[in-house]
A = this chain, B = another copy of it.
Amino acid sequence: MKFELLSRDASARRGRLHLGHGIVETPTFMPVGTSATVKTLTPEELRSARTQILLANTYHLWLRPGRDVIVDAGGLHRFMAWDGPILTDSGGFQVFSLRERRKLDDDGVTFRSHLDGSEHRFTPESVVAFEEALGVDVAMVLDVCVRLPAEADELEAAVTLTTRWAQRAAAARTREATALFGITQGGLDERLRERSARDITALQFDGYAIGGLSVGETREEMERAARFCAELLPPERPRYLMGVGTVRDLIAAIDCGIDMFDCVYPTRCGRNGRAMTRAGEFHIRNAAYVRDFGPLDQACGCSVCQTFTRAYLAHLFRSNEMLGPRLLSYHNVFMLNRLMEDARNAIERGDWSRFREGITQRAFPAAPENLASREHPIT
């Protein structure tokens, strides 16, 4: 793996990531393909929606279809027929959200499947081995993620264990073609964030994620923490803010100097009838759209906006037709990917601050609670 930092504009960065299955221009958004599928979309559509890299979930794939099926298929890329780069999360976030169903010890975490109650165990070593067996381009180390707000001692223990596990994950690595990223923790506690960043970056990972955000704190707290954390990370390595995916949050995080993002938000919104645009979000089931024969988003050039009207999409959602979630998921993913392209161009041009202000000055209605990005980590 190689990362080039091509240009900067204030803290915003324009970079290029060379991975086994291709090049990723940063800043980049990674659509989430939890169970080896970005819900409703084909790999071909993801490409045409300008997707560069996907995220897949270790927790879900471990349980179903399981390691052997994917390995026998020739790896995750061939299994899901996506030949571009893939990053897998470590399953840490999902497992720690299981609360009643998991038991943490110093060596790892034992949990029961949300599908059938069967018992499984993640250790830093078993997770790296799983990700390498899948043949992904970027593997994340197993971390201990704490939901906010949290007690100081709980946060501190999570930071300590996350570092110890990161050391073991780094030592367990066997496959050069799979880059390994460390994850920093520490909640909103700057002293802990400093310690975590120092300890994790000492391990010389290929890239660094900021974990433990977008887990219950306010937007302002998240932005402040993301900025604080980004500055603690080495500039020559890619920086990844996990679980971020609204237009406003992405722009704010790029402004903090972050390069990579993932979130179920655009596809979950798509399935629920929520259209994303740079000028805000709206719900396509609203009565206003039943006779609106304009495109979903006047400013978008995606094939959905070129082909179908709001009235037709409203009809599909009101009729519970699967084509509705499909088309809206496509649009939302395309829209975020184009936003990232334009952000990259603005940084290159030295025009980032004007670009950022042009977007964040518009009214962005907050996402409804039930779509909040990290509220449903498992299903």
Contact = CB atoms under 8 A, between A and B. Distances in A.
A288 interface: no
Interface in A54-79: 64-65, 69, 72-74, 79
A248 interface: no
Contacts of A312: 36, 73, 79-81
Contact of A322 (B40, B65, B81, B291): B40
Question: How big is chain A's contact interface, by range?
Answer: 35 or more
A322 B325 CA distance: 9
A155 to B, nearest CB: 34
A259 B44 CA distance: 35
A326 interface: yes
Nearest to A325: B322
A319 interface: yes
Contacts of A325: 322
A81 B64 CA distance: 37
Given A307-B81, A315-B64, A323 B73 contact: no
Contacts of A37: 316, 319, 321, 323
Contacts of A318: 64-65
Contacts of A40: 322-323, 326
Given A79-B312, A312-B81, A39 B322 contact: yes
A326 B326 CA distance: 10
Copies in the complex: 2
Given A81-B312, A307-B81, A291 B323 contact: no
A258 interface: no
A79 B323 CA distance: 14
A32 to B, nearest CB: 13
A290 B322 contact: no
A71 to B, nearest CB: 11
B321 A290 contact: no
Interface string A93-133: 00000000000000000000000000000000000000000
A319 to B, nearest CB: 5
A309 interface: yes
Given A81-B307, A326-B322, A315 B69 contact: yes
Contacts of A73: 293, 309, 311-312
A118 to B, nearest CB: 15
Contacts of A36: 312, 315
A291 B80 CA distance: 14
Interface string A312-345: 1001101101110111000000000000000000
A121 to B, nearest CB: 22
B42 A323 contact: yes
A324 to B, nearest CB: 8
B39 A311 contact: no
Contacts of A72: 291, 293, 311
Nearest to A65: B315
A41 B323 contact: yes
16 contacts: A35-B315, A35-B319, A37-B321, A39-B321, A39-B322, A40-B322, A40-B326, A43-B307, A64-B315, A64-B318, A65-B290, A65-B315, A72-B293, A79-B309, A80-B312, A81-B312
